[in-house]
Structure formats: C-alpha cells, structure tokens
Amino acid sequence: SACSSLQESEKKVDYAQAPSAAEMQRVSPAFAHYTNDVVIGDLWQRPGLTPRDRSLITITTLITQQQAVELPYHFGRALDNGVTPEELSEIITHLAFYTGWGHSTAAAAILSDVFKERGIDNSDLPAVPANPLPIDRESERNRERLVEDNFGVVSPGVVDYTTNVLFRDLWIRPGLAPRDRSLVTVSALVAAGQAEQVTFHLNRAMDSGLTQAEAQETLTQLAFYAGWPRVFSAMPVFKSVFESRGLES
C-alpha cells in the first residue's frame, strides 16, 4: 500500500535540505563557529557594503555554483535585505545568459517555492518592458565593433545574439538598475572562475556607479561564498582596472 511503501521512502535522505544547527554541530563545531562568528557575525556586519549588496553577491554566487542547499535561505534573506521580488526575477533572467540556462531554471524552481511561502507572485510583470532604459549609443557602438571585428567570423550566431538579445534587450530592462546588473555579472564571473572576462564588466559596473570601495568589499564577500582561490585569481584583474582608472587606494 501507499503507506507501507512510504515507510521505505521516508528513509531516503533529501540532500537538498540545509543542515540544522544540531547537524552542523554534530559534523563540525569549528564550521558552526566560523559560520556564526565570522560569516554571520562579522562579514555580513562590515560597513563596506550594504546587506542588500551582500545579498546580491551571495545569491549570484549560489546560483552560479549550483549551491541549491543554501538558496532558499538566501533568497529569503535577500528579500529581507531589501532586494525586491522584481529584482530577483531579473537576476534569475540575467544569470540564465551569464551562467547557463540550466542554472537559472534550477534556481527558478527554488525561488518559486520561496515566493509561494511569502505570497509573492510576479506573474503580472511585463515579459517585455514598455519603457526600456536608453542605450549609450557610443559605448554600444564600440562594444559591437570590437566583438564583430574579433569574433564575427568565429560565430555569427553568438555575435548576433550578443548584440540583439543581450545588449539591446536584456541589459536595458529597467527591472534591475545597471549598477546592480553589473555587480551581479562581475560576481558571476568571479564565482565561475572567469577572471579573464572581468575587465569589461568591472569597468561597466564602475561607470554605472559602483565605487572602488564597494568593488574591494565585493571581493571580501566573494572570498567566503565563492572560495578564496576564485578571489585570488580575480584580484590581479581588479587591480589592473583600479589602476587604469587612476583611483586612489
């Protein structure tokens, strides 16, 4: 019967659950200590970034690294820290292009449950915005020419979608401020270990208002969530960008 066979299935472990405090303690009192006293008690309290920015960086990292276990908690925390449901919707959409369709699809399934629990529903948001942001024509022309010159013969399909779907459509959606969209993009690149793509997007982020101090502290948040090595590989690129902009340190 259903019930007798369910006794079996009850034994199945659902690994998609985060460990409880008692389970963390059973496995590693040290890990529980670092989580409570260093990450939650110290890192998240640092003044260099708002809790909202830390949430943007953290959920981006979790989506990019497919860390489903922590996502329900951090989606909720992001909402509590002032990230709006529409912004979460945009981040999921944006990261489909910047980390792969499957990562965002998996994250959408989780966010859907978080939304249900909180009675949130984005269904009425427009799929195509009525009032897209303006395009900076000169910078877009430069970007397009550079990509066309370098890669037009390598993959016309990629170059075409990059222009028409990414930079003249996705990037001008008004649901996420350009500075936040760039912060999400830079965080995804560092989390994926793609320091070689950071220069363009970090410059774009700083052109859109991300300060050098915020960029510096973004690395600090990423060190814990994406891992130290990802950040150490990205630091030389951040350094070059800071130097090329002539900023103080």
Q: 33, 118, 141, 145: which one contacts a second copy (CB under 8 A)?
A: 33
> Closest separation between CB of residue 185 and a second copy, Å?
9
Binding mask 42-81 for a second copy (x = CB under 8 A): ----x-x------------xx--xxxxxx-x---------
Contacts of 239 (CB under 8 A, 6+ apart): none
Show the tokens assigned to 113.
Answer: 């449950």
Residues 114-133 that bind a second copy (CB under 8 A): 115-116, 121-128
Does 242 interact with a second copy (rule: CB under 8 A)?
yes
> Closest separation between CB of residue 1 and a second copy, Å?
8
> Closest separation between CB of residue 145 and a second copy, Å?
16
CA 173 – CA 159 distance, rounded (Å): 20
> Closest separation between CB of residue 136 and a second copy, Å?
20
Q: 52, 106, 144, 163: which one contacts a second copy (CB under 8 A)?
A: 106
Does 158 interact with a second copy (rule: CB under 8 A)?
yes
Residue from 74, 95, 94 nearest 224 by CA: 74
Count of residues of this chain found to bind a second copy when the rule CB under 8 A is applied: 118
Q: Which stretch binds a second copy (CB under 8 A): 76-84, 137-145, 202-210, 228-236?
A: 228-236
> Closest separation between CB of residue 122 and a second copy, Å?
6
Does 109 interact with a second copy (rule: CB under 8 A)?
yes
Does 238 interact with a second copy (rule: CB under 8 A)?
yes
